[in-house]
């Protein structure tokens, strides 16, 4: 058994479900398997900046009750770049060396940092500057950290958003309204797309796909003509206005994304006879009991991070790829963020279900156009020979995904479900 090490763990950036499950996994594996000490650092890098450094020794008995609890019992922060830290007199100061010194004052042999791409970039810069043995674990409800297929917190956020959409179907049908649900997603539309499909939304707007209000209104009108007198629209907070402007709202001294739902509500009402209402889910997507999938992912990541330390592999981030945990260099992992592919499997699934993504006049037209595009690409490949077609596509950077074709029966099933909602509301 490799004994004698003391490792630290911190949570940085926005909170999400599953963080405490990671801390628990790291603590249990480090103590039970390797016989190490584990220190939990309070308030992320702020805890290392404090004098004395703010940290607590963790035990298995202490962390076990936190498996299902949301948030992070260690605390976190989204403020204060240590390389340009805001001081009380309004000036900015480089306090990175204080954090590095805090790491050594605690006598740490390694540090596990749980964060998104921004937090991991800062932690890596500190590690490179101060010789800190760093291992990263990705967490973000946006699921936009590069390389990893899943990040901690995403599944719970999607579950919460989906449940909200499920509930809004009934009130939308009761009042014949267009309900607009604004969900989180700083740069990417993964929550909106996943929850929208799972919740049976009729319209999904994400930042990766440009939209036109006319297309949305036409889709709503077509649904009304078909007997569906309500619609559910899910929109990511990062969606821009038609002119390309981000919608932000003031919050103390900062601006935050938010308000696109209200913008769309006003535009749709002005261009159609639809009565609209807006629900902003906000931070409810970050809280609550973590889903079983997030707990499993957090546990697997925590154990893998400890194993990397035991193997002396640092400056790496654990990832979920091909149904297993792997590790990659942190720099490579955060180099690019993971956006929704506009013509990827889920986007095409939405189109195949008749969901309007705003880029084509109607959900039905979008599904037909997407299917026609795939048919043309496949036909072109076959006519020139399968091998030469694939070779040509690869050399030009073309990626063709025909696996997401969805039968018309699914679209019919969706409409049948909506008809049930409408009928139930009318019987009340």
Residue 295, annotated as binding a ligand: no
DSSP assignment of 235-286, as one string? Answer: EETTPPPTTSPPPEEEETTEEEE--HHHHHHHHHHHHSS-EEEEEE-GGGGT
Classify 208 as helix, strand or coil.
coil
Contact by Cβ (8 Å): 258, 248 = yes
Residue 224, annotated as binding a ligand: no
- 15/360 Cα distance (integer angstroms): 36
Residue 141, annotated as binding a ligand: yes
- 49/298 Cα distance (integer angstroms): 27
Classify 381 as helix, strand or coil.
helix
Question: Under 8 Å CB-to-CB from 277, ≥6 apart: which residues?
Answer: 172, 177, 178, 179, 180, 265
Residue 80, annotated as binding a ligand: yes
Catalytic residue among 81, 89, 94, 142: 142
- Nearest 10 degrees: Cα torsion 379, 383, 388, 389: -10
Residue 410, annotated as binding a ligand: no
Residue 237, annotated as binding a ligand: yes
Classify 87 as helix, strand or coil.
coil
Residue 186, annotated as binding a ligand: yes
363-386 CB burial, b ≥16 within 10 A, e <16? bbbbbeebbeebeebeeebeeeee
Residue 184, annotated as binding a ligand: yes
Residue 259, annotated as binding a ligand: no
**Whether residue 142 lies in the annotated active site:** yes
- 114/125 Cα distance (integer angstroms): 15
Percent of residues in the chain assigned helix, strand, coil, to nearest 5: 45, 15, 40
Residue 118, annotated as binding a ligand: yes
Run of H or E including 70: none
Binding site residue list for ATP:
14, 79-80, 116-119
Binding site residue list for Mg(2+):
117
Binding site residue list:
14, 79-80, 116-119, 140-142, 177, 184-186, 237, 277, 283-286
Catalytic positions, written as ranges = 142
Binding site residue list for substrate:
140-142, 177, 184-186, 237, 277, 283-286
């Amino acid at each position: 058994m490799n004994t004698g090490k003391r490792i630290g763990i911190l949570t940085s950036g926005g909170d999400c479900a599953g963080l405490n499950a990671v801390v628990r996994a790291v603590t249990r594996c480090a103590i039970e398997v390797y016989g190490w000490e584990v220190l939990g650092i309070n308030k992320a890098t702020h805890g290392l900046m404090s004098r004395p450094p703010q940290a607590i020794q963790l035990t298995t008995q202490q962390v076990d009750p936190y498996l299902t609890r949301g948030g992070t019992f260690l605390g976190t922060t989204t403020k204060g770049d240590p390389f340009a830290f805001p001081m009380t007199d309004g000036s900015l100061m480089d306090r990175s060396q204080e954090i590095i010194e805090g790491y050594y004052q605690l006598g740490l042999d390694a540090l596990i940092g749980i964060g998104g791409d921004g937090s991991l970039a800062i932690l890596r810069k500190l590690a490179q500057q101060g010789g800190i043995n760093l291992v990263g674990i990705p967490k973000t409800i946006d699921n936009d950290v590069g390389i990893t297929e899943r990040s901690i917190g995403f599944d719970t956020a999607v579950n919460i958003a989906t449940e909200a959409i499920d509930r809004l179907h009934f009130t939308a049908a009761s009042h014949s309204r267009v309900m607009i649900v604004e969900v989180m997603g700083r740069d990417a539309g993964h929550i909106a797309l996943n929850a929208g499909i799972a919740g049976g939304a009729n319209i999904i707007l994400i930042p990766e796909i440009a939209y036109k209000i006319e297309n949305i209104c036409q889709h709503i009108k077509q649904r009304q003509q078909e007997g569906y007198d309500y619609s559910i629209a899910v929109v990511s907070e990062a969606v821009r206005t038609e002119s390309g402007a981000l919608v932000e709202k003031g919050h103390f001294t900062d601006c935050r994304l938010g308000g696109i739902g209200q913008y769309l509500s006003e535009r749709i009402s002005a261009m159609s006879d639809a009565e609209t209402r807006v629900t902003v889910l906000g931070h409810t997507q970050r809280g609550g009991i973590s889903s079983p999938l997030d707990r499993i992912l957090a546990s697997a990541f925590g154990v893998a991070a400890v194993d990397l330390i035991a193997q002396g592999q640092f400056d790496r981030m654990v990832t979920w790829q091909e149904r297993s945990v792997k590790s990659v260099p942190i720099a490579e992992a955060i180099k690019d963020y993971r956006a929704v592919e506009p013509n990827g499997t889920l986007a095409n699934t939405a189109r195949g279900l008749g969901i309007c993504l705003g880029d084509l006049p109607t959900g039905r037209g979008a599904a037909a156009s997407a299917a026609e595009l795939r048919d043309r690409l496949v036909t072109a490949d076959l006519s020139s020979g399968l091998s030469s077609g694939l070779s040509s596509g690869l050399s030009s950077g073309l990626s063709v995904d025909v696996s997401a074709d969805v039968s018309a029966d699914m679209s019919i099933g969706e409409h049948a479900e909506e008809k049930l909602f409408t009928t139930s509301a009318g019987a009340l």
